[in-house]
Amino acid sequence: IEMEPRAREGLLGMTPAQMGDVARFCNRYPSVDVSYSVDDGDSLTTSDTVTLRVSLEREANTEGLDEGAGIGAVHAPRFPRPKSEGWWLVVGDPSTNKLLALRRVALGRKAAVALEFAAPDEPGEYNYQLCFMCDSYLGCDQEYPIELAVAQGSDDESGSDSGSEAEEEGE
């Protein structure tokens, strides 16, 4: 919005206090870049643990923030007490509505997160969804497709370890 302040105020019909409130909100509204990759994505098998690495980077208005430093309270003038941003990374299977991984993320200027979940039991092509969600601001949630090609794993790796661990715990 490249306009003179008086022209902007006249166009919008807001009081200076209302314009200040809008400006504070716009300056606090988060814009976050999300990038992700699957470790060993070309060689996943049914016996593997899938590791999804997610990098988050907040854009603009973060000068002076250290990596991992908190952002502070959100602009929520009607909330009864100061409210901090809450961010969530969720991996799910839209075809079955199954949740595969969930992590709350403290996001300052940058964050790197690894999400782990079990590879599917059956070989094949799978289309999952990575969701990045904020509990404080509407409209800044993001969704990304995750495509996995899973090959058959060896029988030795898949059930023998888990069964013996369960037996030891039960004794």
pLDDT digits (tens, 9 = 90+) for 4-47: 767 766 777 888 888 888 887 787 788 999 999 999 888 999 98
Look at residues 81, 66, 84, 97 and name the one whose alpha carbon lies nearest to residue 134: 84
Pick the CATH number of 31-156 from 2.60.40.150, 2.20.25.240, 2.30.110.10, 2.60.120.1440: 2.60.40.150
Max mean pLDDT among 6-10, 16-20, 148-152, 166-170 falls in 148-152
Contact (CB, 8 A) for 121 and 21: no
Q: Check whether 71 has a pLDDT greater than 50.
A: yes
Position 73 scores a pLDDT of 79
Q: 44 with 150: CB under 8 angstroms?
A: yes
Distance CA 131, CA 4 (A): 39
Q: How far is it, in rounded angstroms, from Cα 133 to Cα 144?
A: 12
Domain boundaries along the sequence of the chain: 31-156
Phi and psi (nearest 5°) for 31? -130, 115
**Tens of pLDDT, residues 87-113:** 999 999 999 999 999 999 988 889 999
Taken as a whole, the chain contains a residue count of 171
Q: What is the pLDDT of residue 162?
A: 44
At which residue do the structure tokens 């250290």 appear?
66
Could you give the CA distance from residue 161 to residue 146 in angstroms, rounded to a whole number? 28
